[in-house]
Amino acid sequence: MTGDSKIKVLVVDDEPAIRESISQFLLDFDFLVMNAANGEAALMLVRENSFDIAIVDMRLPEMTGDTFILKAHEINTTLKFLILTGSLDYGPSPDLSKIGIGSAQILKKPLFSLFSLVKTIEETLGKISGSNV
């Protein structure tokens, strides 16, 4: 993972309230968090930083979440992804499935519990803490 014990998270969502609430919540859990409002800005961050996981909205302006994920995976093949979507019937494309995205990595909006987001991040990264989240 990373050289230190803190998990580095990238939050990509064009809705400021969602982006900020997730970021602030994760900061409270001692994650290192950066965020972006669109795919291009997020790709720049992926090129310049070593993230462990990205939480990605599927409906982004100018570039879909799927496209961002595939481009980000080309830049950093160890980066893990969680998909955030308001679509009730969303399923990962075959290209996303090939890079390890399955139903466990798909989160539906609205998130009813940000505590479950922390648990999903830790499970996806294989870092389960002793806390009850």
3-state helix/strand/coil string of 92-129 = CCHHHHHCCCCHHHEEECCCCCHHHHHHHHHHHHCCCC
Give the integer Cα–Cα distance in Å for 3 and 68: 25
> Does the reported pTM lie above 0.75?
yes
Would you give the DSSP letter of residue 7? Answer: P
Would you give the DSSP letter of residue 51? Answer: -
Residue 7: CA atoms inside 13 Å, Cβ hemisphere, count? 28
Mean pLDDT of 51-55: 98
Mean pLDDT of 10-17: 96
Q: Does the structure show a pLDDT above 80 at 130? A: no
Label residue 87 by pLDDT band (50, 70, 90): confident
The residues spanned by each domain of the chain are 8-125
Find, among 128, 89, 84, the residue nearest to 110 by Cα.
Answer: 84
What percentage of residues in the chain have a pLDDT greater than 70?
92
- Per the structure block, which two tokens stand in for 54? 């990205």
Q: Are 26 and 33 in contact (CB under 8 A)?
A: yes
Does domain 8-125 fall under CATH 3.40.50.2300? My reply is yes
Label residue 111 by pLDDT band (50, 70, 90): confident
